[in-house]
Amino acid sequence: MDFSTPRWPVPFRLLSGTAGKEVRKDDVILSSYCGKSVQFNHSGESMSQGCPVCAEMGSSKNQDRWIAGDSDCGLYQMGNIALPGYLVLAPRRHVVRWTDLERSEWESLERFRGVVEEVLLGTEMIRKVYFLSFGEVCPHLHIHCFPRTIWMADDHSEAGGVDGAAVFVHYRKALACSGTPEEVLAMVRRLRNAFSERRSSQK
């Protein structure tokens, strides 16, 4: 593969010497995710053993942060960050690519995402919810549901508006903590109630 010729127009050019080498499937990355050690191959193929998202889906240790789930997906509060409503939504199955999702998984993720957005936007001070998916550190497909507050916008406003990427990066670091603060747990309970009410209304 020729990495020297960009496949996108100016100004998105690869700097000389920064293009990656061709990767073998057995190449392995050691990294971390929310303070946990993660091991996976560059292709992102099913190394579910040790996957932090898989661990969250089946762990009894995160019950204080667990919000809701069904047979296809699960939703939980991001650990070790003192931001109420910063959630992770993911399929239970160790899926790496969006195209590998089954129809029921798509539908479940979208249904959960809709409830999250409705509840968070109904919260005082929250004006927008960012839904982001990277899969760089942890290849298991997962969506960061990140509540952007009024005060975050005040801190990162520019002439053209709020720099959402800067907000996300800054506050993930600035609000890092140990454990789960009570204000975060209060939001977890509120979201649990919202999902419980939805289930009751559908019966």
Q: What b-and-e string marks burial along 51-83, b requiring 16 or more CB atoms within 10 Å of the CB? A: bbbbbbbeeeeeeebbbbbeebbbbbbbbebbb
Domain total of the chain: 1
| Residue 15 falls inside a structural domain | no
pLDDT in the model for residue 50: 79
Among candidate residues 93, 66, 91, 61, the one with its CA nearest the CA of residue 78: 66
pLDDT in the model for residue 159: 67
| Residue 35 falls inside a structural domain | no
pLDDT in the model for residue 57: 86
* CATH number of the structural domain spanning residue 135: 3.30.428.10
pLDDT tens profile 137-192: 899 999 999 999 999 988 766 667 888 999 999 999 999 999 899 999 999 999 99
Among candidate residues 152, 154, 190, the one with its CA nearest the CA of residue 168: 152
| Residue 149 falls inside a structural domain | yes
Distance from C-alpha of 98 to C-alpha of 116, rounded to nearest angstrom:
20
Residue 39's DSSP bridge partners are 30
Cβ(78)–Cβ(86) under 8 Å?
Answer: yes
What is the mean pLDDT of the segment spanning 89-105? 96
Which of 25-29, 60-64, 81-85 shows the highest mean pLDDT?
81-85
| Residue 147 falls inside a structural domain | yes
| Residue 6 falls inside a structural domain | no
pLDDT in the model for residue 182: 96
Of 196 and 41, the structure prediction assigns the larger pLDDT to 196
Retrieve residue 124's tokens. 């005082």
User: Domain of 144?
Assistant: 52-202
Residue 75's DSSP bridge partners are 68, 89
| Residue 7 falls inside a structural domain | no
Q: CA distances (Å), 87 to each of 16, 25, 68, 146, 182, in order?
A: 38, 31, 11, 7, 16
Is 60 exceeded by the pLDDT of residue 41?
no
What is the mean pLDDT of the segment spanning 64-81? 96
Q: Which of 13-22, 123-132, 142-151 has the lowest mean pLDDT?
A: 13-22
pLDDT tens profile 23-34: 343 434 343 444
Is 50 exceeded by the pLDDT of residue 17?
no
| Residue 165 falls inside a structural domain | yes
Q: Which of 15-19, 60-64, 120-124, 182-186 has the lowest mean pLDDT?
A: 15-19
| Residue 93 falls inside a structural domain | yes
159 Rama sector, left if φ>0, alpha if ψ -120 to 50, beta otherwise:
alpha
Compute the mean pLDDT over every residue in the chain, rounded to the nearest whole number.
80
pLDDT in the model for residue 69: 95
